[in-house]
Amino acid sequence: METTARYSLIGLFTLCVIAAAFAFAYWLRAAGGFGERDTYRIVFESPVTGVLPGSQVLFNGITAGAVTGLRLNPDDPHQVIATISLDPKTPVRADTQVGLASQGLMSPPSIALQGGTPTAPRPTATDGAPVLKADPAASQDLSQSAREALHRIDALIADNAEPLHGTLANLQTFSEVLARNSDRIDRILESLERLGGGGQPKAPSVLYDLTAPVAISPPDKAPRGQLVVPEPTALALFETQKILTRPQTDESVALDAQWGDSLPKLLQAKIIQSFENANYPQSVSYPTEGLTADYQLLIDIRGFQLDLLPEPTADVEFSAKILATDGRIVGARIVHASVPVKGTDAPAAAAGLNDAFGKAASDLVLWVTNLLG
């Protein structure tokens, strides 16, 4: 019984395979390459380079069949006869246009059928197959078209050889100029990048400070009334934190270093501190809201830089005016101090200007205390 059952299963499997093979053959006949096809002959009056048996036949861009044969017409050496098979539902008419269509560089060209009048009759049959005639212009050799296009490009280049030569020469000159100035271009690009907020962050500059003089011997009598010191005024040149040098009389250059604050604010703080160091902390202060002062010490900065000619010298100069509450100028003078400097770098310049300021601040404190004492 077991042997009989095994043979039965084998026979059933064999019958299933045979049935599947018949079903596949029927599908091929109904919808695939084994189905009914209509045969046409197409007469070309020009070469059909690249067309092969098996090449596609397109109707309005849709695959409708294939090339089944190619032969020369023995009665006319100019003609090539292509035999094609099409889907019977393809609406081929007597006025259907025939040509070649390129399928890219890697694929052979296809025979292209296009349009036709719906009321036009079917093509006339000859030797049992309808015949279509290709337009000689439409079936032009594709390789010949490519050669003609290359010839036109070559002619265009030949006609413009001199302008092209001039353009190439200008490009070479421009590239040589770029090569010679590459360092400058790099610096310009870096500057633009920093201007836009990009690039590597610049290392912070060294900050320098001024020292208020300590060894001041003012008169024993303290100044009368309350004195306030507003922020000094200055030209835009001195409204900065940068340490300035003056290579020429009419020229100022900033060093790669700066003061701890803008110069007017720094001088205001150090002048007030100089009065405090002279034991007058109750008589001098900043202008504050609610404070009624008897006098104002008005400072205008006229010079605060390192002069390089004839010898490096730290030069500090400012005007001082004492203004009473009624608007009267009680006193005015120019305070000036110069100190020789051994170097022109930032540390030497800062040290020299600090010494010059110390001398000027000491003279200012003595002048004010004598005038208001």
Q: What pLDDT shows up at residue 29?
A: 47
Q: What average pLDDT does the segment 99-110 reach?
A: 75
CB 261, CB 292: distance < 8 Å:
no
**Average pLDDT of the residues of the chain:** 82
> Is residue 360 pLDDT above 90, yes or no?
yes
- Residue 223 CA to residue 371 CA, distance in Å, equals 8
Give 332's pLDDT tier (boundaries 50, 70, 90). Answer: very high
Q: Hey, how many other C-beta atoms are within 10 angstroms of the C-beta on 107?
A: 11
Tell me the CB-side half-sphere exposure of residue 63, using CA atoms within 13 A: 9
Instruction: State percent of the chain over pLDDT 90.
Output: 23
Per-residue pLDDT tens for 18-47?
877 766 655 554 444 456 788 898 888 888
C-alpha 217: how far from its chain's center? 65
Question: Where residue 138 falls among pLDDT bands split at 50, 70, 90?
Answer: low
Q: Where are the beta strands (DSSP E) in the chain?
A: 38-44, 56-59, 62-72, 80-86, 97-101, 110-114, 125-126, 129-133, 206-208, 227-228, 233-234, 242-246, 253-259, 284-285, 295-307, 313-324, 329-340
Q: How confident is the model at residue 357 (pLDDT cuts 50, 70, 90)?
A: very high
Residue 178 in 3-state DSSP? helix
| Mean pLDDT computed over 132-153 | 70
In this prediction, residue 118 carries a pLDDT of: 85
Quick one: which H or E segment has residue 175? helix 161-180
Is the pTM here over 0.85, yes or no? no
Token pair for 29: 């006949």
Dihedral sign, CA of 264, 266, 268, 271?
Answer: negative
| Rg (alpha carbons) of the chain, rounded to whole number | 52
Q: How confident is the model at residue 13 (pLDDT cuts 50, 70, 90)?
A: confident
Encode pLDDT of 44-68 as tens digits: 888 887 788 888 898 988 888 889 8
CA distance linking residue 227 with residue 285, whole number of Å:
7
Q: Which of 24, 19, 97 is nearest to 61 (CA)?
A: 97
Tokens coding 145: 């078209």
Q: 221 vs 293, which has greater pLDDT?
A: 293
Give residue limits of the domains in the chain. 38-139, 219-372
Instruction: Name the CATH topology of 219-372.
Output: Rossmann fold (3.40.50)
d(CA 332, CA 50): 106
Contact yes or no for 351/245 (Cβ under 8 A): no
- The C-alpha atoms of residue 365 and residue 372 are separated, in whole angstroms, by 11
pLDDT at residue 31, as a whole number: 42
